[in-house]
Structure 1
């Protein structure tokens, strides 16, 4: 018996660039399950996150808000945990997606990484939680698990463990088919940082990548912006050496092979969950979404990691481009490719649409339902994505990537502009060329207009606002807004 409302399964992975899938044209990525899914679903080729860090994107997908609205501008660092309020949940003040769904009669579960404050507080949002406290993944093995009242170390690889728990949950829900469910399955992989991916892989996909030349990742020298970031951290006494690895990882073949092997393990998890839905006759009435919190630069543009790992921060494609595959309920296994620009907040609105809930007002949330794109409706779509990375705000259109930098600082940050038609790899910065002054002016105006709506003055860093828990550039905001500037909760 089909439920009246669709079940919802969102597999949300950690640091997976949109280009590293076989179905995205990558010949070295081994992702047979994602490739198979894309042949029976809608593949979005131009999906982008609002901020290339874990916590902001997790908050955005659960609230439909931008970082300057929900207040989380970078990863929530457990280093500051002693400063957090008791059982702090970073998005507790919002009416979140799982809470909305629960009021509609959904059973809701978080299985995997939370990374939005104290992990035990996830029970404020989800009826069932099997999670972990860590955000910065040190290892995929033997992590401390929070499972209701139980505390233990999980066996085996974390992706396999959370997949097992997700399948148990699906089978449990199958026994009560009249109750729809929302499963937010958040794998803490492929991740992409040492020590978790340091050295050659030793997992079940090690042999597949042995001696692989990894030609799908270009070899580039370290960029000046990446070196400048490490230099300023040392100048401000904010680095004890841990950031130096960002200059060691690019072009390290064992690390790349290890990273790709973790993506294959993630792909296994996707396949097993899809199989569980099929075996329990749930697939036809399930909205299935595969996405990543953000992408990952694997050395492209001369840096490893996220947009914040340069000075100033950047929004180049690799770190902000995410995989997004959506299989709608009762869609007849239709294959479709959508090239329209969509974003993380749009996942939030799309789920609301398929459930039949009211869309957020345009003045409250930038979230747009992608359902018309999935169902081939003839609509007018604003083909643009907006992003922010503390001192950088950006807009991506079909032709332009424009990075606008905050100007009222002592650092004299420069804007950047790339013509994506003539320069798809984003190499030729045109922002200082007088010939493109009109383009810079128009895109600047669009960004100003956008953030005049989608920013809360309390969390608007560009206008004296602050952040929740921590910033990666606290010195910048103290120097700009005064010594009284401090993170809040």
Structure 2
């Protein structure tokens, strides 16, 4: 009994010490995951109890969208608050920019989230996928740096990792490895403010690995499941890659197993925060770099897997969950249209550092942090924008307009009556004025924010290889 009392007093002391300093930030970012794959977003088949608990204990955004459908650009946007046509990363980076003589940090010209937090007294650690260049060298405010040497994922076992500045093979399950390094970082920095960027390369859902059986603890559970939440449909005529995954049980089961594997990691991270007395003083964010489609409309993958490049809602819709007991009320949802370029200003504001948001280049990001505290988003402009290379889109509360430079094809959807984007109204009688107004809004937004050297519509270039005309 005496020992239990001493242990309880120790936990109370840890909690009190943590509460007297700025909140920690744990930013959990997954790779290629649509919100629809999670239980808290309505999936009845894939087991995600730990992520569901995050949502139950915090706030879940129902219409969070990525501004691009590919990993390098979206990761750059999360960390800078800038669009691809501002930071210049329009697509996924070539491996030569990550390792070797041509490697360089694509964010070096900007002030990113890690740099802001480091200057505010935070210790910053990366565990997981970087894919923004110069992968061997810590950068952007991070002093702890464990990552991958590349961007794609060939498998989740016996893979190369970078740890302590050295390249080696990790023989275990890499999802568990990133989690373990995150838990170690939390324990090592429990006495000071920290920022953990836990960037899983799972569930991934691409490449030949999708036809391999999963090896994690969930594989046997899903081995005989039909997984009807993955729709069966004829292949969309715009599908360019991933054709072998359509209507394939092996691919569905692999995806489900990897989603549940990530969920295990989330549970371990939350347990580590509680064990170190940091639960109430840590802002935890769960999201994905971009959305993903697993059979809906006969589509598998994201925008770059289609020709022309796609801008379907489920390629854009990401999970977005915030949790901090005592600060963020539990069991909230927010239906506002949110973009990942809104993430950095909102997180800094929630941490009490809103005045440190970089002013140049001007971010299009807006501060949605009042919603985290249970307040309405007064005067919120319910509009978000999207781009990949020559494809751009505007999404309003009701409409989506997709334009492709220089000559289309164009798309126009009524998202209230046609949420699955089955009927393209572009060119239909009576839509001319609407199309003109949406086109003007799209052009005005990018004219305001796009940097000339990275504005592809106006002859600008990209730091990444172009993948479509």
1:259-270 aligned within 5 A = 259-270=255-266
TM-score, L = length of structure 1 = 0.88
2:397 match: 398
Match of 1:470 among 451, 462, 465: 465
CA distance in 2 between partners of 1:462 and 1:85 (Å): 31
Q: How many residues align?
A: 449
Alignment deviations for residues 423-444 of structure 1 (CA, whole Å, 9 cap, x no partner): 1111010011021111111111
3-state SS, counterpart of residue 195 of structure 2 = strand
- Compared CA separation, residues 369 and 332, structure 1 to 2 (3 A): closer
Q: Are 2:94 and 1:99 equivalent residues in the alignment?
A: no
TM superposition shift of 1:207: 1.9
TM superposition shift of 1:26: 0.7
TM superposition shift of 1:81: 5.9
Contact 2:98/2:104 (<8 A) preserved: no
TM superposition shift of 1:86: 4.5
Alignment deviations for residues 75-113 of structure 1 (CA, whole Å, 9 cap, x no partner): 11216668x764400111101110111111100011100
2:69 match: 52
Contact 1:314/1:403 (<8 A) preserved: no
- Compared CA separation, residues 81 and 117, structure 1 to 2 (3 A): closer
TM superposition shift of 1:377: 2.6
1:201 match: 214
Contact 2:146/2:163 (<8 A) preserved: yes
Match of 1:316 among 298, 312, 319: 312
CA distance in 1 between partners of 2:34 and 2:101 (Å): 34
1:215 match: 228
- Compared CA separation, residues 367 and 3, structure 1 to 2 (3 A): farther
Contact 1:89/1:122 (<8 A) preserved: no
CA distance in 2 between partners of 1:413 and 1:87 (Å): 35
Alignment deviations for residues 340-393 of structure 1 (CA, whole Å, 9 cap, x no partner): 111112121122112322145598101112211122334111111110021211
Q: Are 2:291 and 1:295 equivalent residues in the alignment?
A: yes
CA distance in 2 between partners of 1:281 and 1:80 (Å): 40
TM superposition shift of 1:202: 3.2
1:418-429 aligned within 5 A = 418-429=413-424
Q: Are 2:158 and 1:159 equivalent residues in the alignment?
A: no
1:355-394 aligned within 5 A = 355-357=351-353, 358=355, 359-361=357-359, 364-378=362-376, 379-394=378-393
Match of 1:119 among 123, 135, 141: 135
Could you tell me which runs of 5 or more consecutive residues in structure 2 were left unpaired when the two chains were aligned. 1-16
- Compared CA separation, residues 96 and 329, structure 1 to 2 (3 A): farther
2:14 match: none
Could you tell me which runs of 5 or more consecutive residues in structure 1 were left unpaired when the two chains were aligned. 231-242, 477-489
2:28 match: 11
1:39-188 aligned within 5 A = 39-78=56-95, 86-174=102-190, 177=191, 179-188=192-201
Alignment deviations for residues 189-221 of structure 1 (CA, whole Å, 9 cap, x no partner): 000112232233332111221221121111111
Alignment deviations for residues 1-50 of structure 1 (CA, whole Å, 9 cap, x no partner): 02421100000010010111111111111101111111100000110001
CA distance in 2 between partners of 1:85 and 1:5 (Å): 40
TM superposition shift of 1:278: 1.0
2:326 match: 330
TM-score, L = length of structure 2 = 0.92
CA distance in 1 between partners of 2:112 and 2:145 (Å): 15
Alignment deviations for residues 400-429 of structure 1 (CA, whole Å, 9 cap, x no partner): 11111212xxxx422101101111111010
Larger CA deviation: 389-398 vs 296-305:
296-305
Contact 1:114/1:122 (<8 A) preserved: no
Contact 1:11/1:289 (<8 A) preserved: yes
CA distance in 2 between partners of 1:287 and 1:101 (Å): 14
CA distance in 2 between partners of 1:110 and 1:391 (Å): 32
CA distance in 2 between partners of 1:202 and 1:363 (Å): 45
1:225 match: 238
